[in-house]
Structure 1
Amino acid sequence: MTSWTEFAEAAPRIAEIFTRRHAATGNLCLLATLRADGSPRISPLEPRVFEGELWLVGMPGTTKFQDLARDPRFCLHTATVDTEVTDGDVKLFGAVHDVRDPVLHQRWAEDLFAESGFDLRGEVFDQFYAADITGASAVEVGNGHMDVTIWKPGRPEHVVRKH
């Protein structure tokens, strides 16, 4: 299992682009999951990094969380609005696991409230997913070329330049 902290240490270039793009969009990303019939689903999500983990938490009962309960695999993509991708773009691949720890949930809710003013303190969370990152890629475009940075666990990130 690769936590956010482990990922950020192993793939600092991709983690930096993710962090920058995540902040630039007000924390909005697009989450790809698999429907019951195996077809893909894309849903908006505001993932959070907290206590060294990437958390995929949101409104209970939504289809994206039903998908993850059935099949934990996901792809998380930074929301891109620039067709030139001048500020970069990241995809994180992995699987989630549900963390049943009410004390952790409340620390997370306190941190969310302190950071954003959004108040989930005292809420009981049906699903509280930590991401196990199993791969990642980033794209940066500029000066007549595109750099694709790729990372897999146990290997250093590497850049493929396309002209």
Structure 2
Amino acid sequence: MTTWSRFTEEAPRVAEIFTRRHRAVGNLCMLGTLRSDGFPRISPVEPRIFEEMLVIVGMPGTTKFRDLARDPRFCLHTATVDTKVSDGDAKLFGTVVDLPARDVHARFAQDLFDDIGLDIRREEFDHFYVADLTGASTVEIVDDHLDITIWKPGEGERVVRKH
């Protein structure tokens, strides 16, 4: 499993751009999943980095989480508000693993309360999805060209330059 900590070691540039863009828009990302009929679904989500894991949780009973329960593949895209992508853009790919550890859930809920004041400390999670990253990419405008940084586990980062 490629955890967040392993990802940041192998892909420091991609991780930095993802983290910066993720924070810049209040942790909002767009989550791509597959619907039961095979068509893609795009949904807003606020993933969190917690205890060296990328955690994707949210309101219980939503279709995006039913999608992930059926097919764990996902794409997570930082919310882009600038059509010129002047601050970069990032996408993460992978699968999710449902982590049933109640002690982790409790620590996560406490961390969420301490960080933003959202109190879900007495609630149970339908699903507690942790990302197993299988790939990532970023786009950056650098001077007169576009740099696309691509990462796959065990291969490090590589940059494709487009003029």
- Answer yes or no: same fold by TM over 0.5: yes
1:68 to 2:99 alignment: no
Q: Deviations over 1:16-71 (max 9, x none)?
A: 00000000000000000000010000000000000000000000000000000000
Equivalent-residue separation in structure 1 for 2:156 and 2:84 (angstroms): 27
Q: Over aligned residues, Cα RMSD in angstroms? A: 0.5
Task: Map residues 26-41 of structure 1 onto 2, 5 A cutoff.
Answer: 26-41=26-41
Q: Which residue of 1 aligns with 2:91?
A: 91
Structure 2 regions of 5+ residues with no counterpart? none
Amino acid corresponding to residue 17 of structure 1 in structure 2: I
C-alpha separation between the residues in 2 aligned to 1:18 and 1:152? 15
Matched AA of 1:34: L
CA distance, structure 2, for counterparts of residue 35 and residue 136 of structure 1 = 22
List aligned pairs for 1:5-154, cutoff 5 A.
5-154=5-154
Structure 1 position 142, deviation (Å) = 3.0
Task: Give the Cα–Cα distance (whole angstroms) in 2 for the partners of residues 50 and 14 of structure 1.
Answer: 18
The SS at the match of 2:17 is: helix
How much does 1:145 deviate? Answer: 0.6
Q: Share of identical aligned residues, percent?
A: 67
How many residue pairs end up in the alignment?
163
Give the partner amino acid of 1:162: K
CA distance in 2, matches of 1:40, 1:138: 21
Unaligned runs of 5+ in 1: none
Question: TM-score, with normalisation over the residues of structure 1?
Answer: 0.99
AA aligned opposite 1:110: Q
The residue type equivalent to 1:41 in the other structure is R
Q: What CA deviation, in whole Å up to 9, does each residue of 1:88-126 have, x standing for no partner?
A: 000000000100011110100100111111111111001
Structure 2 distance, partners of 1:39, 1:108, is: 32
> In the aligned structure 1, how far is the partner of 2:139 from the partner of 2:115?
29
Structure 1, 117-126 or 36-45: larger mean CA deviation: 117-126
- C-alpha distance in 2, partners of 1:139/1:109? 33
- Counterpart CA distance in 2 for 1:8 and 1:119 is 29
